[in-house]
Amino acid sequence: MSLLDPQDDTQVLLQDSVRDFLDREHRLERLQAIYTGQSCVDRELWLRMAGQGWLALRLPQALGGSELEPVHAAIIMEQFGLKVVPEPLAACAMVPAVLLRQLPCHARWQPVVKGLVDGSHIATLAWQEDIRMLAPSTAAMQAEPRAGGGWRLTGRKLGVICASLADSLLVTARLRDELALWRIASGSAGLVLAESRTSDGGTVAMVDFNGVHVPEDALLAHGPALAQALEAAIGEAVLLGACQLLGIASGALELTLDYLRTRTQFGKPIGSFQALQHASVDVALQQALARAACRNALRQHAETPHSPATRAAISAAKARASDAALLAGRFGVQAHGAIGFAAEAAIGAYLKAALRGAALLGNGSHHRRQYAELAGLHETCR
């Protein structure tokens, strides 16, 4: 059972096309690259995804996009989870597209817009400065005026997704007393990346800005509208991450149940053992709860995208989906026995993806606390 409405032809066609594409273009075997210290993200596959229109799915039609809704992006992300696809679709396509929906578009955005349409340019958001900082409307890094024009950025950003793959970074900093956003080319002088491979085949980087020269025409946006746009983009990224985790959980359970049906011990399939049956039901129950939470968050987002109730629903979905994916991955590895710990076992890819996705943009504990705060439960418990 997926997130789509079976009565909506657009949603059904989208899911079918995503499944067909991933069946042709993606194999779990390519995730083996992580064992040689390489990223699994494929630039050629990214270009083919652009040809499917996925990168521009949330982009306004006036800019060449489809201008579809978060539920359509969620359907794609769920399928990415089911197939354990490492390409950073939410971070490097959906987030920039949502920013462009929220902010005035001008010529300075053109490389980003073109990249969303044809895949030729990848931009990733660099906003986080502290691992505990999950509010995108704040930034400590200052833009200092530079003699001869432009600004100089000095500071550090954390958690930048696929920074080495990106052609440019969308960087937040303080401009006088306002939050501002710049587009900075990845190869700019003074820009230093310290990148790590992640368990799901992608990368995450710490980016140092050592007096990076930022020309005046690199400024994309500033002021209160930018803060609101960043909140919207990161909030949607959290929601889409929850939907991807739901797909990871579903894929892990499906793979495990298939193994339980075929692996025999003492002359019978191990899936007939009562302990494994009970554990499977527990995993399936958590997935049902996570799916209900994701559907509720998508519905709330469609009705009141900026309300505290919607932010609470998104946190609930992320917490539920994180727990469901981790439980499914761990159970799957255990149920596979010794082979489950081998690098060649497909179930390991699901657990690694769950570990990565659950931590991204706040783990389950963080989002449960955020839900309690937004829902006013802290005051109730006092």
Query: Residue 111: pLDDT above 80?
Result: yes
In terms of Cα–Cα distance, which of 73, 86, 84, 18 is closest to 325? Answer: 84
pLDDT at 134: 58
Query: Residue 138: pLDDT above 70?
Result: no
Q: What is the DSSP letter of 93?
A: I
Half-sphere CA count of 302, side-chain side, radius 13 A: 13
pLDDT at 131: 63
- For the stretch 322-358, pLDDT in tens is 999 999 999 999 999 988 888 888 999 999 999 999 9
Residue 270 pLDDT class (50, 70, 90 cuts): confident
pLDDT at 381: 45
Q: For 23-37, 152-166, 170-184, 311-325, which range has the lowest pLDDT when averaged over its residues?
A: 23-37
Mean pLDDT across 243-254: 98
Mean pLDDT across 240-260: 97
In terms of Cα–Cα distance, which of 276, 280, 287 is closest to 248? Answer: 287
Alpha carbon of residue 287 to chain centroid:
19
CB 329 within 8 A of CB 175: no
Residue 33: which residues within 8 A CB-CB, separation 6 or more? 39, 40, 201
- For the stretch 5-36, pLDDT in tens is 888 999 999 999 999 999 999 998 888 878 77
Average pLDDT of the chain, as a whole number: 92
* 48 vs 113: CA distance, rounded Å: 17
pLDDT at 382: 41
H or E segment at 170? Answer: strand 168-175
- For the stretch 47-106, pLDDT in tens is 999 999 999 999 999 999 999 999 999 999 999 999 999 999 999 999 999 999 999 988
Helix (H, G, I), strand (E, B) or coil at 208: strand
Q: For the whole model, what pTM was predicted?
A: 0.95
- For the stretch 218-232, pLDDT in tens is 999 999 999 999 999
String of DSSP letters for 95-127 = HHHHHHHHS---GGGHHHHHHHHHSS--EEEE-
- For the stretch 294-310, pLDDT in tens is 999 999 999 999 999 99
- For the stretch 163-177, pLDDT in tens is 989 999 999 999 888
* 264 vs 271: CA distance, rounded Å: 8
Query: Residue 136: pLDDT above 80?
Result: no
